[in-house]
Every structure is written in C-alpha cells, then in structure tokens.
Structure 1
Amino acid sequence: MAAVTPQDDTRLRYAWRVCAVTSLGIVLIGVAGSTLNVALPTVVRHFGANALESTWILLAFLLVNTASLVFFGRVADLLGRREVYLTGFALFTLASLLAGLSPDVWFLIGTRALQAIGAAMILANGTVIITDAFPPDRLSQGMGVYIGTLSVAQLAGPTLGGLIAETAGWQWIFWLNVPAGLIALGVGAGLLRKMPRRPKAPVDALGNVLVFAALSALLLALSEAGSSGLSSPVFLIGAGLFVLLVPLIVLTGRRSPSPVLDLRLFGGRLLACANLASFCNALARSALILVVALYFQAAKGLDAFAAGLSVLPVPVGIGLASPVVGMLGRRVSPYALSIVGAAMSAAGLGVLALAADPATPYWVIGGGLFVAGCGSGTFLTGNTTQVMRALPADSLGVVNGFRVMVMNVGIVISVGLSLSVLTASVGPALRAQVYAGTLSTLSPVAVGQLMDGFQRAYGVLFAVALTGTVLAALARSPRR
C-alpha cells in the first residue's frame, strides 16, 4: 500500500471541502425541484391553471435546463468553470425571488425557465469540479456523498413543499431558495479555486437551438397525446417537427467542431451503453415522486403535506444507498454497482405496477418506493463514477454536460409520457382535476379509471427500467 504524501493529504482535504460546496448546489436544485412536484396542486388551484399550463409549470424548467446543459459546459471551458458555476447560483437565486412574486401562471413559467438556466450552470459543472478535485481512487466516495446529498434534498423537498404550501403559501417554496442561494454563492466564492481553461472552441449555437426546438415539439406532442389522442393535429405537428429536426441535429453536429450532441461519444461500447442506461434509469425514476404524490392527492384525497410524507421512502432509499455504495466503490467495480442498482430500480417499479389499487396497504407501496430509491442511489453512484473515470480530462466539461443532458432528456420525456399515460384514462374533461388533486371528491368511477392509468404508467416505466438494466450490463470496459 503506497504511503500518503503531504501533497495527497492536502489534495484530499481540499477535495472534501469542494464536495461540501458542490453539495450545497445540489441541495438547492434538489429541493427546488422536489418541493414543486408535491405542491403543484396548490399552485394550480391558486392560478386556476388549465391542464396545459399545469404541465408546463414543471416542464419549462426541465426543458430549458436540458437544452442548455452542454452549452454551459462549453461556456465553462471557455470562461472558467468556477466563474460559470458561481454565476449559476446568482441567477438561480434571483429567479427564485421573482417566481414567488409571479402575478400569473405564465410569469411563473417564465421564471421557472430562468431558474433552469442557473441550474444548468450549476449541474453542468458540479460533477466536473468534484472529479478534478478528488484523486481517482477516492472519486467514488466523493460521488457517493454528492449524490447522497441530492437525496437529502429530495428527502426534505416533498415534505417541506407540502408543509409550506399548506401553511405559509406556495410563494415561500421559491423564496426559501434566496437565503440558501446567497449562502452557497458566498461560500463557493471564498473556497473554490480557479480551474485551468480548456482550449477555445466555438459554441454550437445552431445545435442548441435545434435541440431546444426538437425537445419542445416532442413535449408538446406527448402532453397532447393523452388528452386528445394520436390523431390530434397538435400531436401530429409536434411529432412531425421532432422527426424532421433530429436529422438536422445530427447533420449540424457532424459539421460543427464542438457539437451540442457529439455522437462520437457513442462510438465506444462503454460510453454508449452507460449513457443509454442512464437515460433509461432517469426516464424510469424521475416522475416517480410526481406520479405517487398525485396518486395520494387525486386518488386518496390527502393534502399536500401528507402526500409529501408518503413519498419519503424514495429519497430515504437514495440517501442510505449512495454513501454506502460510495465506500464500496474502492472494492466493488462501478460497473457491478450500476447493474445491481438498475435491477433494484426495476424491481421497485414492478411492485408499484402490481400495487396500483386504492385498497393496497401503504407498507406495500412504501416498500416499492424504498427499493426503487435504493436502486437509484446505487445506480447513479456507480454509473457516474464509471463514466467520469472513462473520460479524458480535456473534455470533462462538455461531456459531463452531455451526460447530464442525456439524463435530463429522460426526465423530460418521463414527465410528459407518464402524465400523458396517467391522465388518458380519465379523459380531457377530468384531466385538470387530477393536476389539482381534487378528483377523489368527484366520482369513485373516475378514481377507478385513474387507477388503470397509474397501472399503465408504472408498467411503462418498469419496462424502461428493465431495458436500462440490460444496457448497464453491456457497458463493460473493453479488455486490454
């Protein structure tokens, strides 16, 4: 066993301080996202939002965040990773203040988009800053703590969001980000060192615009399919635009020296399968808290706070699994951890698919949520470590932005797809009542129809999770 030099000890101490700072960022993003998932019915009732507006309160953040991740990874390579990271904190804090002052629902959607830009600056660079700070043999430990911290945010978020919505008002869901953001900005500015800038390369502006347009068209098609069917003109136009834009994205990517979607990253089996497994895992898990929170409010008639308590097993599972897996990472390969995590996520979703009935006892639902949470924590730690170890240092920023973007595309599609499958069972007339959490007061027949929607939604997510498990198994490093 090699002796630990003073230089190694100094680097490790700095690495853990960096992990603490970046964890503040992920707490801010995690809490902001998960609180609104549970408090959505309260916000919908306040503004009297229709089904389309209700969907876009959530999707505006995901869409803008996803489309700008690679862009800000490239910008950070050019302008400095520390500078872009701290600017993200400032912008996210300002947008949170404005969101709480929203006079109408579309102003809120706009400030959510502004929040998403700040979040993209943070997410595209946090993992890279950790990777640069930690020695390679300790990276899995740092990643385990970083991802475990996200689960703490998700743990507090739903309960906190439900409590705030029922007591102080939904505005404080956003305003609580302001002091937290200012603290994170001050601590980060004082602690983070400047990182060397990478060789300059042009930003693929056209590629970013095309990706944003393609994702917007896809989301519009998915959100319309559930209420109006596959023959709806809006669905046909959205799906047609998406199909037309994908080849254009590929074409512009081949001509750009720094494409927003660098398909060369899929050239090797490890990165291709690991990124696709990450996509499947994100698609399968991301809407879980939202769908389950809607289940307890729309079908069971619980308030937002009680619904927030009901989804706690997911973040508890992630929070317990991530640091434990991080410590195991020095003895067990990230490859093996990703497979085990993906399989556990699929098992948890399988339990939920079989338990979609109002008469199902909570311990069964809670058990499925806990297993899915443990699986997500295990997979995310193993998969992230596996991918980041495989990357050259001079491409960490852009490629990590691409990696997070792939996951976010899964999240975007997951929210649109699962809500569409879920609400299709009750028809367009009652769809708004599902989002507002008031369906249980209208008709037992409608609730029974909604249960069919929950079962179908979980079934689709379970199938996707199984596919992710197979892809994780294929993401083996080539033998040398």
Structure 2
Amino acid sequence: MVAVSPDYALQLRYAWRVCSVTSLGLVLIGIAGSTLNVALPAVVRHFHATPFESSWILLSFLLVNTASLVFFGRVADLLGRREVYLAGFALFTVASLLAGVAPNVWFLVAMRVLQAIGSAMILANGTVIITAAFPPDRLSQGMGVYIGTLSIAQLAGPTVGGLIAEAAGWQWIFWVNVPAGVIALVWGAFTLRRMPRGPREPVDALGNLLIFAALTAFLLALSEIGNGGPVVIAGMAVAAVLTPLVLLVERRASHPVLDLRLFGGRMLVWANLASFCNALARAALILVVALHFQAALGVDAFTAGLSVLPVPVGMALASPIAGALGRRVSPYALSIGGSLFSAAGLAVLMVSARPGTPYWIIGVGLFLAGCGSGTFLTGNTTQVMSALPPGSLGVVNGFRLMVMNVGIVISVGLSLSMLTSAVSPSLRAQVYAGTLSRLSPVAVEQLMAGFRLTYGALFGVALAGALFAALARGRRAVP
C-alpha cells in the first residue's frame, strides 16, 4: 500500500470540491441546451416563429458563446478566474429568469445572447480551474467526472425538456435554470479559492470583433442556404474576406486573442482539428433525432425526450470509465477509439433512417454515438490540457473551446439546413414546429431523405475526426 502525504490528501480533497463546482456549471449549461433541443417545437408554436427565427433561437446562443470564449479566457487571466467564473453564473441565472417572460421571439433571442455570455464565462474557466486543482496523476479521473456531469445533464435534459413543454409550458424550460444557478453561485463562492492573476495586458478588441463578424456572416449564410439568394452569397463572401483578415490582425497584435504561436506544435493542431470534427458530428444529434420523432413520427415532446436518451446514457457511462482507464490507457488512444465509436453510431443511424425502423436499431446507433463522444471528450481534453505550459492555460483552453464551439455552431446550422432542404420551403416551418407528420406520408418520406443526408454528412465528419486524432501523437504541444 502506497503512503499518501498529508499535503497530497488535502490537495486531492480540495480538487474534488472544485470538481463539484465546475460540474455544476456543466450541468447548468448542459440542461439548458438539451432541454431546448427537444422543446424547440413548443417554443416555435407559441411564438408562431418563422424558420429563420426558429433557427436563430438556437444559433444566437451558439454564435455569441463561441465568439466570446477566448475573450473571457483572457479577461479571467487579467481580472481573476474565480471572479469571472462566478459572474458567469450570476448572468446566466438572470438571463434565464428573463427569458421565461419574453413577450416576443426576438426578446427571447436577446436573452439567449445574455445566457451565451454567462455560459462563455463559465466554460472558458471551468476546465482551467479543474486542471489547476488536481494533481497531474489524478487529472484524467477528475476530467472524466467533469465531462461525465455534462452527460448527466444531457441525460436529464431531453426528458425534463419534453415533460416541461407538455405539462408546465415553455417558460419553465428557462426558469428551471434559476434555482440551479443560485445553488451553483453560492457553492462556488464558498468553495473556490482565489487564483493568481496574470499580467495586466490589453484585450484584443479588434480581434474579438473580427472573429464575431466572420462567424456571424458565415452563420447567416448557413441558416439561409436552403433558400439560396443574396444573403447566402453575401454571407459567404464576407466570411471569406474576414477569415484571412483575422489571421493577419492576430499575427500583428501585441496581445492577440488568438495567439497563433501557441498552436505551432503538431499535437495541438491535430487534437484541435479532431475536437472540431467530433463537435461537428456530435452537437446536432439530439436536436435532429428529436425532430425526427416529433416532425416525422408525430410523437409528443416528452416521448421524443425519452427517445433520445441513449445518447446521454452512452456519454454518462463512457466518460467516467474513460477517465478511470486514463491511468493505464493513453488519452491519445481514448481519443481515437471515441471517434471510431461515434462514426459507428452515425453509420447505424444513416442506414436505418426510415419511418418504419424499429426503435431498438435507432437506440443502438444513438448509444454508440454517445459512448464515442464521452470517450473522445475525456481523452482529448486530458491530452491537450496535460501538455500545456501553465502560463498559457487560460487562452489556450479558451481557444480549444472556441474551436469545439465553432464545430457545434456549424453542426446545428448545417444539420438544420440539410435536413429541411429535402422538403419545399412552404413545409419547413412544419418541421421546426414538429407538425409535418400531420400532412402526408409523401412529405414525411421527403423529410426522411433529409435525415439520411444529414446522418451521412455527420458520419463522414466523424471519420475525419478519427484520422486527425490518430495524427495527434506527441506529449508536448509547444516547443
């Protein structure tokens, strides 16, 4: 039996308390996202939202959250990680309260933007806080529990969202976050110690603005791609012009929001590309499957929420198991294996996308995809965070999350565009409202072609992620 020093035991005890705080943050954000994915048709029907408005209820949150992750990683280095993290809880809670009293769809979108800012403050700092708290030999275990709590949130979210939408009204989809946010804020203030602040350096305002503008243009184009027209052309053109401009500005900035010098190592490049592909293949899955059951099969939101449970169940089981295996199996191997499991699950969904497919086949595909995502996230996060020099944890973690969130944004926008492209523009609102199955079997069959196209595209991306994960061999990210 190996003796454990008192200092090590104290550090480990504090680390697990920190893990409970950061896990509450993931639970809060995970439930908020997964409940809306299932309950979106109820919100759309309440506001009589157009397809464009419907997609932006989701995309506004993802866009702002993605564009501000690196910014709040830098701000926390300057103002204090604990302070920014707790402020994120407070803002997210207030925005959730106000979202439930939204008088129209665009007020709701505005509150989703505030939720996104609070979420970015939480996400940009949670992984860094937990990395700093755990001893290196226990980091994979802590990360497995941390990622696993997101799975638990996603496990509860679809069922809770469906039940709330059917029984209590769409407002409670947002109000359920309020007590959870208050508990997380109080427990975090009580538990977290102050962390050393970085040097007071200027924030790269121009870089942040250009990144936000480029992502906004790209998402506008993506959300309208099914309709074609000047919005798509203009959005893609603006994004194409701004992307190299972002790289040019960031190379010349004295304190860039994206310090490209930190990403010269081979491992970081390929690991982040693998993370991007995994997010692209994973993010829209619950939303797409929930629309499958509601729009194509005509079930209610609660039943749809139960039907997508194999995804978070797989993640909830795989994440802690992968974390425990992390002491014997390399994070590199876990990342590759997780990517391949995700691809296998999506392949099952692609070949079984028919109205009469038995549920157990769909469930197997969802479970495999969930297991793959849980395994990949644990392995990939541990691999990247373990290889970084301590002084760059904040900005690199913000960049890592931003890359992942760009994949999430594109996944949702692209999946909705591909899915609804299979039906005529006049029927797309029926897809978002979950009422297409009431029209005709012909319309449903057209929509199923959209599901097959969507699953096929996500399957191809998951395979690309496995290739990138295989190329991410190496222990150090920077020279």
TM-score if structure 1 supplies the norm length?
A: 0.98
- 1:33-44 to structure 2, matched below 5 A, reads 33-44=33-44
Partner of 1:304: 301
- 1:132-151 to structure 2, matched below 5 A, reads 132-151=132-151
Displacement of 1:359: 1.1
1:390 to 368, 387, 390: 387
1:247 to 244, 248, 261: 244
RMSD: 1.1
Partner of 2:313: 316
Partner of 1:418: 415
2:233 to 230, 233, 236: 236
Partner of 1:118: 118
What does the per-residue CA deviation read over 1:86-109, in whole Å, with 9 as the maximum and x for residues that have no partner?
A: 000000000000000100000000
Alignment of 1:350 with 2:351, yes or no, is no
Contact kept, 8 Å, 1:201 with 1:257, in 2: the verdict is no
Contact kept, 8 Å, 2:84 with 2:121, in 1: the verdict is yes
- 1:213-224 to structure 2, matched below 5 A, reads 213-224=213-224
Displacement of 1:443: 1.4
Contact kept, 8 Å, 1:224 with 1:235, in 2: the verdict is yes
CA distance in 2, matches of 1:22, 1:478: 26
Displacement of 1:247: 1.1
Partner of 2:273: 276
- 1:368-387 to structure 2, matched below 5 A, reads 368-387=365-384
What does the per-residue CA deviation read over 1:40-65, in whole Å, with 9 as the maximum and x for residues that have no partner?
A: 00000000000000000000000000
Displacement of 1:238: 0.4
User: 4+ residue stretches of structure 1 with deviation over 6 A?
Assistant: none
CA distance in 2, matches of 1:24, 1:248: 38
2:462 to 454, 465, 475: 465
Partner of 1:191: 191
TM-score if structure 2 supplies the norm length?
A: 0.98
Partner of 2:438: 441
Contact kept, 8 Å, 1:265 with 1:272, in 2: the verdict is no
Alignment of 1:105 with 2:99, yes or no, is no
What does the per-residue CA deviation read over 1:239-266, in whole Å, with 9 as the maximum and x for residues that have no partner?
A: 0000010011001101113322232233
CA distance in 1, matches of 2:141, 2:424: 48
Alignment of 1:289 with 2:286, yes or no, is yes
Partner of 1:367: 364
CA distance in 1, matches of 2:49, 2:62: 19
Displacement of 1:202: 1.6
Partner of 1:28: 28
Name the SS of the counterpart of 1:200 in structure 2. coil
Which residue identity lines up with residue 462 of structure 2 in the other structure?
A
Displacement of 1:2: 6.3
Name the SS of the counterpart of 2:423 in structure 1. coil
What does the per-residue CA deviation read over 1:65-89, in whole Å, with 9 as the maximum and x for residues that have no partner?
A: 0000000000000000000000000
Contact kept, 8 Å, 1:273 with 1:471, in 2: the verdict is yes
CA distance in 2, matches of 1:265, 1:464: 26
Count of aligned pairs between the two proteins: 477
Displacement of 1:268: 1.1
Partner of 1:161: 161
CA distance in 2, matches of 1:433, 1:402: 37
CA distance in 2, matches of 1:69, 1:381: 20
Contact kept, 8 Å, 1:425 with 1:453, in 2: the verdict is yes
Displacement of 1:223: 1.0
Partner of 2:88: 88
